[in-house]
Chains A and B, each alone.
Chain A
Amino acid sequence: MEQKENRQSGERTPCSVALVQRRSKSYRQSYRSCLGATSRLFTPGHATRRLNSSRRAPRPRDIKEQLDPGVLSLLTRTEWQLSYVTPLFQFRHTRLKSYARQLSAFMAAERQQGVAVEVQGEEHTYRGRFSLLPGLVEGEGEAEAVLIQLWSRPAFSRADAAEKPVWSGWFSCVRGGDDYLRSLPPDFVGLPLFCSSGAESLTATVKAWFSRHFDCSFGALPLDQDTLQWVAALWANCHLEADLRHLTLLWEIPVSPPLKVSYAVEPLDAWTLWSGVRRAPSAVEEGVIGVGEVEEFVQELKRHFHRHFRLQLSAGNLTQVSSGLGAAKSSGRVKISSSRYLVSTLSLLTECALLKMPI
C-alpha cells in the first residue's frame, strides 16, 4: 500500500520526467503588473516612507525670464490648494489645445448633467485654456508643468464683456525623485503635484475630467509637521538673500477650549538661531541641510517659548508657517510669494506628493 503511494508521489514531485504542462498565466502576470513597483516595494523602510533626511539649501532661481509675468504673478499671488495626482495615462504636452476644447465641452455638459459633445466654435459658459509653464523643472526627464484656467463671463454682464479667469490649477513635478519617474512606463506622465484655486465645484469638475481622460486619481495633500518644519527652516535659511519679514508659526494646542499660539520671530533672530544650529558644512556637502538641524531649529524655538510662557509647544500641532516668502498651512493651502524660491519650495511639495503615491 505504502509502496504504491510512494510511486504516486514520485510522479507528483517536480523532479520526475513526465509532467503535465500547465499554463500559469496569472502569477506571471501579477509580477509583470507590479514591475514598476517591485523595486520600490522592497526597499527598506517602504512601509514607513518619510521625507528625505537631507536636502540642498534653496538657491534663488530667477524664472522671470522663462515665465510670462502675468502667469508668474498668478502663481505668486494666489493661495493654492494642494493635491497629489497619480501618474497621468497618455497625457501629451502637444495636445493641450484639444484638451482645452474637451474640457470646455465637459464643463458645459456637467452643468447640464449630460454627455460631453465637442462642437467646434460653440460658446461655452466656461472656456478652458491650457498652457505650459516653462522653467518649472529641475531634474532631467521631468514633465513640464501645465497650467489650466477656466475663463468665464460674469453672470450679469453684457455679451461683449471681457472674460475673466474664474478658476486656475496647475500640475507640476520639480525634482520628483528620478527613480520613481524612471520606473514609469512611457505611457505615463508623472506630474504628482496639483495646485488649484477657485470654486470647489469647479475644482471637482476639472478633477473629474482629468480622472476620466487620463485615468488618474486626485487626493488631498495636507502638509504634516515635518514638512512645515522644513518649510520654516528653509525660509529661515534664505534670510540673507530675501526679505523674510516675520517668520510666523502657528501652533494649535489641543486643550478645551482650543488654544492657538501665534509665534512670530524677527527675521534676524530666526537667522541667528538658524546659523547657530547649522553644523559646519563639510567640503563635500556644502549647502546640504540635514533633518537634525531642522528639528533642532524648531526645538530651540519651542524651548524659547517655554522659557517665557511655561507652555510646551510640543504638546500641540504646528499648523501654519508664514513669512515674507509665503505661507503654508497644514490643511494643504500654500502660497509662495517669492518667485525666486518658487522652484525650491515646489521640490519640497513634490516630494510630499510623491510620498502619497499608492505604489
Chain B
Amino acid sequence: MFSNVEMAARLNASEASDSDQSSPGDQSSSTRSRNRSLRLAEKERRKNEADSFSLALKYFTEVKSGTPVVGNDDFERNLVCVEKTAYSKGLHPEAVSTMLEFAMSCRMGSSPCARVLKCLLPSSVVPQEAVVRAVVWLGISKIPVSTQILFVKWILTMFDLIDGKAQLRAIYGFIFNFVTDENLCPFICHLLYLLTRKESVRVYRVRKLLELQSKLGRQPFLLHLLSLYKVFCPELVTLSIPSRMKTGFKNYNSPWKAALVGVLKRNGSQVAQSINLLASASRKRKLGHMDLPVLAPAVNTQAVSESLCKNVVPLVQIQSFTQLLENIHQIELPAQMGSLLGSSLALQYLDCLQDESALLRMNFWLGYALHEEFLFFNNGGANQNSEEAQQFLEKLLSTQHFLQEGFSSTEAFLYKFLNVWDGALMRPQILGLMSNIPVIPSSHIGQLLFEPLIQLFFTSSLFFKCGLMECLNNMLLKWLTWHSVYALEDDLDISLNSHTSINMTLSGFKNSVMELVYFVGRLASVGLQGEDCHSLLLSFVLDFYETVCEMFLKYGLPLVVMPPPGVFYPALFATDPVSVDRLAYIMYRYKINLASAKYQEKRMEQAFHINRQTFLEFNHYAVLMVNCLWNSKMFGPGTGLELSESLLLKSKVPNYGASFHLVHHPAFLSYAVDFHQQCWPKRNDLDLNSIKQSKALGWYLEFLISQGFDGLKHFVESNISWQVTGGQGDSASTQTRGTPSPPSAPFPGQRSPDAALSFPPLLLHLFPRIHPPNSRSQAPEDTVAGVNARSQGCEAPEKDTLPYYRYYRASTPLFCTGVAAYLCLFTGQTSIPDPTPELVHLRPDNLPPQSKDREMVWKWVSSPCPSPPWLAPVSPSV
C-alpha cells in the first residue's frame, strides 16, 4: 500500500539531487540575466523555483525525527518554498503525499503540522494511499485536538479530489472508532456519512451511535448519520428521525476552499467535475471586495416598515423598463448601493437618481473596492485575481460610460493610485477611468494629476505615451462637452448657479483647460523628442490639437491655445504625409476659430478676448508654413527661422531653402515622383523642379488633393491666394483698410500704428497658386508682401536628376530630423519677427468682384477639367 508513496518520494529525491548541483550556478546566472530579457529571466526563475521546490520536498522526505523546529532556517526556507508553490500552482500528488506524511508523522513535533495542513492544496488529485496513511497516523501520533480537527476538515474539503475511495472504505471501522472522540465527532460523522455504504451499516455501529446520542443529546450530525443508516438498513435503526430535520452538514468555511478554487482555475481544470462541485460551494462563500453585492431589497427593518406604509417597490422586483417607468416615483433602493452596478435596469434608475446619500453610499463602496484591490493589497499574495479585477474595472468603465460621468470615488482613488502606478497594470482600464475625471480646479491640477503623470510619461514606453495622449484628449473632450452643455444652460457663468455645490467660474474653467492644454503641449514636445518624433505618437498628439483648435467654435469656450513649437515643427517636418496634412487641417481650423472669435469680439463687445500673443503665434506659424511648403524660403530673414548660413551649409543639403517645398518635402516626395512620372512618362531623368512651374504646380496640388489630403486643400484655400497682379493686390488692401468691417472679412483693416502689438492681419499671402490653364504668364515677383513669394524663384539645382533624387531621399529625413530637433531645442532663441503689416489677406472672396482673373479662376476650378494630367497622362508642352 505504501510502496507507491515511497517510490514517488525516492523519485523526487533523485530529481532533487540532480538539480542540486546546478542550482547555485542557476541562481547567479539568473541575477545576471535580469537585465537581458524579462522572458528569459522569468523562465529561469520558474526553473529555479521548480528546483528549490523539489529540494524542499526532498528535505521533508528525509528529515530525521526529533529535528528542532525553532530556529531551524532550513526548515523555514523549505516550508516557505512549498507554501509558495502550493498557493500558486498547487501540489502534485507525490508532493501531497510527502507533505501529508511529514505533517502527520510529527517527525518535527506537532507544531508545523497545522501549518503544513493549511497549505496542502492539490494541483490535481489527492492519492488515497496518502490519506489512508495519514488517518493511521491520526491514531498513533500525538497531534493536538485542533490540528486533528483541521485534518478531518481537510479530508472533507478534498473529498471529491481523492482519486479513489475504496481504500478509505476499507478502513471504515477504523475511522468509526474516532466517533467517540468528543471533539472530532461532528467531523468524523460527516466523513462517515460520505463513506457509508450498505455493507458498512452494522448493528454495533448503530448501537454505538445511539449510545452517543443519549450522552450528547440529539445532535444534528449524529441524526444525519443515523438517518443514512436507516435509509440503508431500516430494520436496524428503530429511532424515529424527525421529518423536518435540517438538511446537510455544516458548510465549513475552511481555509482551503477559496485558495483551492483559485489553484484549480489557474491550472486549467484537469478535474472538471470537481471544479463544478467546488464552484457551486464557492458561490456561497463570503463576497470578496471585487464582487458586486447581490441586488437585494433593503433589509433594515426601519426602512421596511416605512416601505410597507408607503407602498414602495423594491428595485429587485422591477423586471422591465416599462415597469421602471411606471414605478419610478416609488422605487426603493437596494440594501447595498453597489449592487446597482450589476444590472442595466438599475443603472437606468441610477442615472436619474438625485438622492445624495444613496450616491454617497455608492461612492463609499466603490472607493472601498478600488482601494482594497489596488492600494492596500489586503487580499494577500495567494489569489492573483487580475482577471476579476479587470472585469470589475471594465464593468465600472461601461457604467461610467453609460452615465457619461465618473464617480467621485473613482476620481479620489485615481489621484492616489497614479502615485504608485507602474503604467502597465490594467493600462487601458485605468486610462479609461482617468479620462472620466471631471474638471479639476487649476490650483490643484498640477499636484493631483500632472506630477504623477509626468513621471509615468517619461519613464514609460511609446505605447503608454500614445495611450496617455489619447486619454488626455478624451478628458479634454469631456470637459469641453461638459462646458458646452452647462454653459448653454446657465448662461456662461457657472457660479451663478446656486443649487450646485461646485464653484467654478468661467475663468476658473478656462484656467483649468489652459493648464491641461499647456501640460499636454509640454509632454508632447518632450515626448516627441524622446521618441524621435515617432509618427504614431505624433498622430495622437495631433488628435489632441484637433480638439484644441476647435475649442471656440465647437464648444463655445473663448480660448484659443496654439501648439508649442515642439509639436508644430515635428509635424511640419514629419516624414509621413498624413501628419503634415493634419497639421495643415489644424492650422486651417485655428484660422477659422480665430477669425470667428475676432468677429464675435468686435460684434458682441463681450468681455472676453483672445490673447494677442495667440494671434502672433498663429501668424508666425502660418507664415512659416507657407514659406516652407510653398515659397521655398525656409530660412530667409523674416521667416521666423533664422539659422546661420554656415550651419545650414554644414548640413550639405543643396538648396536647403526648398527642402520642404511641397514638391521636395520628404513626406510628399513619393507623390511628387509619382506625379512626375504620370505627367511626363517619357522623360527619363527625374526633374522635380519642373513640377514647380506654375501650371504643373497647380496640377500637382490638385493631384495631392485627389489623394485625400483635405487638410492641405483647406489650408491652401484659406491661406494661400494666388497672384493676380501687384496692382490689384494693392488695391484690395487699400480697399479693406478703410471700410468698416463688412461681415465677410473677418479682420478688415485691423491695424494700429504699432503693428507688433496690435492684432495683425491674420494672414496674407499673395501667391501664385493656380493659374488658369491658358495663362502662360510667368508669375511675377510678389512685391506686396514682405515675403518673397515666387513660383519659380527657388534656387534649385539646375537639374533634378535621378542620382540626385536618390541622394535626396537618403539625406532628407536626416536633415529633417536634424532641423526639427534643432528647432525644438532652440525654439526659445528663434526670433519671431513682427508680422509685416503690409501683408494683406487676399482671397477669392475679397477680390474685387469685377476682377477678371477671379472669374477665370472660378471658371477653371468649377468647370470639369477635361483631362487632368494625372488621369490622362498626355505629355503637355512645357
Contact = CB atoms under 8 A, between A and B. Distances in A.
Interface in A190-226: 200-201, 204-205, 208, 211-217, 219-220, 222
A120 interface: no
Given A32-B359, A38-B502, A185-B357, A92 B302 contact: yes
B404 A26 contact: yes
B845 to A, nearest CB: 6
Nearest to B718: A2
Contacts of B592: 2, 5, 9
Given A219-B376, A359-B363, A30 B444 contact: no
A32 B744 contact: no
B335 A34 contact: no
A31 B359 CA distance: 11
Interface in B381-425: 403-409, 411-413, 415-416, 418-419
A212 B447 contact: no
Contacts of A21: 488-489
A3 interface: yes
A256 interface: yes
A217 B365 contact: yes
B376 A220 contact: yes
B150 interface: no
B841 to A, nearest CB: 11
B552 A359 contact: no
Interface in A16-67: 19-38, 41-42, 44, 46-48
B243 interface: no
A14 interface: yes
B368 interface: yes
A2 B704 CA distance: 23
> Which residue among A14, A28, A158 has the maximum number of chain B CB atoms within 10 Å of its CB?
A14
B369 A14 contact: no
Interface string B556-593: 10100000000000000000000000000000000010
A258 B75 CA distance: 12
Contacts of B484: 14
Given A10-B596, A13-B552, A156-B216, A359 B357 contact: no
B383 to A, nearest CB: 15
Interface stretch (A83-91, A164-172, A296-304, A317-325): A83-91
A227 to B, nearest CB: 14
Interface stretch (B283-291, B815-823, B859-867): B283-291
Given A14-B487, A15-B492, A358 B407 contact: no
B743 A187 contact: no
Contacts of A219: 289, 368, 371-372, 376, 378
A149 interface: no
Interface residues of A, number: 79
B182 interface: yes
Contacts of B603: 10
B488 A22 contact: yes
Interface in B363-380: 363-372, 376, 378
Interface in B50-69: none
Contact of B600 (A13, A23, A217): A13
Contact of B76 (A31, A33, A222, A258): A258
A33 B407 contact: yes
Contacts of B371: 219, 356, 358
A112 interface: yes
A3 B378 contact: no
A19 B361 contact: no
B448 A358 contact: no
A28 to B, nearest CB: 5
The 4 closest A-B pairs by CB, nearest first: A358-B367, A34-B408, A257-B73, A33-B359
Interface of B: 73, 76-77, 182, 186, 216-217, 219, 246, 250-251, 253, 284, 286-287, 289, 293, 296, 299-303, 335-338, 351-354, 356-357, 359-372, 376, 378, 403-409, 411-413, 415-416, 418-419, 438, 440-441, 443-444, 447-448, 452, 482, 484-489, 491-492, 497, 499-502, 552-554, 556, 558, 592, 595-596, 599-600, 603-604, 606, 718, 743-744, 746, 845
Interface of A: 1-3, 5-7, 9-10, 12-15, 19-38, 41-42, 44, 46-48, 86-87, 89-90, 92, 95, 98, 102, 111-113, 116, 155-156, 158-159, 185, 187-188, 200-201, 204-205, 208, 211-217, 219-220, 222, 256-258, 356-359
10 contacts: A6-B595, A6-B746, A24-B486, A26-B351, A32-B354, A46-B412, A113-B284, A185-B356, A188-B357, A358-B413
